């Protein structure tokens, strides 16, 4: 096999780099079909790439094993070089006389380790031996997500190895706790992959919102959060990251983080109470700016289609009432056997592309106002997710509006089926472990209004959260 010229090699390397425009894809496909040398080179590069990854991982494994019993294993031999057995920077070296034998022993050991991991952990769905964290709290449906779509429902207390984790449905939340106290708070419909190795903890946020509370990390092993558009590096702090396919928003509650925009590699430091936004557009401003204050009063009228951050079906005003949004099916959880539990609801989440990432801040007398209608009397559930002012997860809270009006003064029926309800937030009960009540100053980032009955035909015309003192003294009519 001869070497292809640099132009053909460039084509292969740019494809592997994700840097090949679709206009050149046809040329590459033709080249690989018609030129056996080019096809063989692509296979060769792939084998080298995978092999280099195996070697580097193995060296880190050796390094950790060496650290665990350095004195006994070294027998007094120095192990201080910065270059590993095969010379990949970042791992330690072993005495030359032992290299070859150790290499073979390790090859066998790594294969045995892999076989053991796969057989014991993946086959059985457990990762206890390679646990790096624990699912410390969960609500709704939380799954370990396999690449090809196979999913395994997991529960509070389950140990987690390196791999993917997802909350299914807007109302599902999860908290992942590492041994050092670092926590990841996952909002609904969030997918992450976690790992921890010689480089430190790594979190890949594929979609959704995660609040990261970082215990102090070693200087040379910072925690890294990667998204499609940014990389965040941190030694110890609290921050929230929201990621969509083409944008990432970072808000820092305490401490500071280093954010790198991947599109152009620029880096900035984002300090406490500041935020930044990284997209795929390198011409867009990439700066740390003061976090927008979250309002104390908030109202959303569902009088038009396409309200950002909300999911439901819009219905224009008509003889039956005002314009509204109708509930849609969503995944509320899973039974023990994995069977999905479907409810119908209207869900809103503060969008990452809008300032603040929160709808409203809560005061001690805040109330929720709701104007809604169902086809027949039905219980309606209202569910809120909050952050504390410092950015940590503040808990999930829920309240049930009974189906039958009970004569309460703020429970008004007009006779047309539309109801106007005022619920003190203090009456909401905690729906996530470790959070007893909503704290004043907490900020609401998710609101879910739902019913369990498919035929309920829930419609919502308006929702809001306000300090009670700011409401009119009379019951709304």
Partner 1 sequence: MALDESNILRVLFQARARLSASVWLVVRDAQTAEDIFQNVAVRALNHELHFDHEAQLLSWVHVAARREALDWLRRHRHRWVALDEGVLEHLDAGWAPEAEKPAGPRLHALEECLRRVSETGRRLLRLRYFEGRSCAEVAQAMGLSIEAVYQRLTRLHRQLKTCIELRLSSPPTDSPAP
Show contacts with partner 1 in window 10-39 (CB under 8 A): 10, 13-22, 25, 28-29, 32-33, 39
Asked if 297 touches partner 1 (CB under 8 A), the answer is no
Taking the complex as a whole, the smallest distance from the CB of residue 402 to partner 1 amounts, in Å, to: 42
User: Per CB under 8 A, which region of 55-63, 178-186, 384-392, 401-409 contacts partner 1?
Assistant: 55-63
Q: Which of 37, 104, 269, 339 binds partner 1 (CB under 8 A)?
A: 104
Which residue from 234, 209, 238, 237 is spatially nearest to 224, judged by alpha carbons? Answer: 234
Task: Kindly give the pairing relationship between strand 418-424 and strand 411-413.
Answer: antiparallel
Asked if 57 touches partner 1 (CB under 8 A), the answer is yes
Using CB under 8 A as the binding criterion, the count of chain residues that bind partner 1 stands at 73
CA dihedral over 456, 424, 466, 396, signed as positive or negative: negative
Nearer to partner 1, 21 or 69 (CB): 21
Residues in the chain: 477
Helix, strand counts (H, E) of the chain:
5, 30
Q: Which of 27, 35, 37, 46 binds partner 1 (CB under 8 A)?
A: 46
Binders in 123-162 for partner 1, by CB under 8 A: 123, 146-150
Contacts 24+ apart (CB under 8 A), 87-96: 88/52, 88/55, 88/56, 88/59, 90/56, 90/59, 90/60, 90/198, 90/199, 91/56, 91/59, 91/60, 91/62, 91/63, 91/198, 92/59, 92/62, 92/63, 92/66, 94/62
Asked if 233 touches partner 1 (CB under 8 A), the answer is no
Alpha carbons within 13 angstroms on the beta-carbon side of residue 180 total 13
Nearer to partner 1, 57 or 256 (CB): 57
First to last CA, the chain: 83
User: Per CB under 8 A, which region of 80-88, 170-178, 358-366, 395-403 contacts partner 1?
Assistant: 80-88
Q: Which of 27, 37, 49, 305 binds partner 1 (CB under 8 A)?
A: 49
CA dihedral over 280, 284, 288, 290, signed as positive or negative: negative
Alpha carbons within 13 angstroms on the beta-carbon side of residue 447 total 25
Q: Which of 27, 35, 43, 354 binds partner 1 (CB under 8 A)?
A: 43
Q: Which of 27, 37, 87, 339 binds partner 1 (CB under 8 A)?
A: 87
Asked if 80 touches partner 1 (CB under 8 A), the answer is no
Burial (CB count within 10 angstroms: exposed 0-12, middle 13-18, buried 19+), residue 48? exposed
Taking the complex as a whole, the smallest distance from the CB of residue 350 to partner 1 amounts, in Å, to: 25
Taking the complex as a whole, the smallest distance from the CB of residue 150 to partner 1 amounts, in Å, to: 7
Asked if 74 touches partner 1 (CB under 8 A), the answer is no
SS3 helix, strand, coil % of the chain, rounded to 5? Answer: 20, 40, 40
Nearer to partner 1, 23 or 474 (CB): 23
Binders in 253-282 for partner 1, by CB under 8 A: 262, 265
Query: How far are the Cα atoms of 116, 174, 316, 456 from residue 122, in angstroms, in the given order?
Result: 9, 21, 50, 41
Q: Which of 27, 35, 37, 50 binds partner 1 (CB under 8 A)?
A: 50
Nearer to partner 1, 76 or 123 (CB): 123
Query: How far are the Cα atoms of 89, 108, 347 from residue 57, in angstroms, in the given order?
Result: 12, 14, 43
Asked if 380 touches partner 1 (CB under 8 A), the answer is no
Asked if 415 touches partner 1 (CB under 8 A), the answer is no
Nearer to partner 1, 89 or 409 (CB): 89
Binders in 185-204 for partner 1, by CB under 8 A: 193, 195, 199
Q: 90: alpha, beta or left, given left = phi > 0 and alpha = psi -120 to 50? A: left
Q: Which of 27, 65, 70, 100 binds partner 1 (CB under 8 A)?
A: 100
Nearer to partner 1, 127 or 419 (CB): 127
Rounded to an integer, what is the distance from CA 197 to the centroid of its chain? Answer: 20
């Amino acid at each position: 096999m001869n070497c292809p010229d640099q132009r053909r090699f460039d084509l292969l390397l740019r494809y592997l780099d994700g840097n090949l425009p679709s206009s050149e894809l046809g040329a590459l496909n033709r080249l690989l079909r018609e030129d056996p040398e080019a096809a063989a080179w692509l296979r060769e590069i792939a084998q080298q790439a995978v092999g280099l990854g195996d070697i580097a991982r193995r060296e880190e494994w050796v390094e950790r094993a060496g650290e665990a019993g350095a004195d006994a294993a070294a027998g007094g031999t120095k192990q201080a070089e910065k270059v590993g057995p095969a010379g990949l920077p970042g791992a330690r070296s072993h005495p030359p006389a032992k290299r070859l034998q150790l290499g073979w022993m390790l090859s066998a050991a790594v294969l045995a380790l892999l076989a053991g991991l796969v057989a014991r952990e993946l086959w059985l769905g457990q990762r206890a031996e390679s646990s790096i964290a624990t699912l410390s709290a969960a609500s709704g449906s939380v799954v370990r997500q396999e690449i090809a779509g196979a999913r395994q429902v997991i529960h509070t207390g389950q140990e987690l190895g390196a791999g993917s984790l997802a909350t299914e449905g807007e109302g599902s939340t999860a908290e992942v706790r590492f041994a050092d106290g670092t926590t990841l708070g996952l909002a609904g419909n969030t997918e992450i992959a976690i790992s921890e190795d010689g480089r430190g903890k790594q979190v890949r946020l594929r979609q959704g919102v995660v609040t990261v509370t970082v215990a102090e990390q070693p200087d040379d092993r910072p925690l890294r959060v990667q998204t499609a558009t940014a990389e965040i590096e941190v030694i110890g702090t609290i921050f929230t990251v929201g990621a969509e396919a083409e944008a990432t928003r970072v808000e820092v509650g305490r401490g500071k983080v280093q954010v790198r925009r991947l599109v152009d590699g620029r880096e900035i430091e984002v300090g406490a109470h500041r935020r930044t936004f990284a997209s795929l557009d390198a011409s867009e401003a990439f700066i740390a700016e003061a976090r927008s204050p979250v309002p104390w009063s908030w109202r959303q009228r569902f009088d038009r289609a396409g309200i950002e951050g909300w999911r439901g079906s819009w219905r224009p005003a008509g003889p039956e009432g005002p314009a509204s949004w109708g509930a849609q099916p969503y995944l509320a959880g899973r039974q023990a056997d994995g069977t999905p539990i479907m409810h119908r609801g209207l869900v809103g989440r503060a969008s990452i592309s809008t300032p603040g990432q929160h709808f409203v801040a809560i005061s001690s007398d805040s109330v929720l106002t709701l104007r809604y209608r169902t086809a027949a009397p039905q219980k309606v559930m209202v569910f809120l997710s909050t952050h504390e002012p410092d950015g940590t997860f503040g808990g999930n809270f829920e309240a049930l509006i009974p189906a039958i009006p009970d004569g309460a003064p703020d429970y008004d029926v007009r006779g047309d089926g539309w109801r106007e309800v005022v619920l003190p937030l203090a009456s909401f009960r905690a729906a996530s472990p470790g959070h007893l009540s909503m704290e004043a100053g907490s900020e609401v980032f998710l609101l879910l209004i739902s019913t369990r009955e498919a035929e309920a035909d829930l419609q919502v015309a308006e929702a809001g959260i306000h300090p009670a003192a700011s409401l009119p003294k009379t019951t709304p009519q």
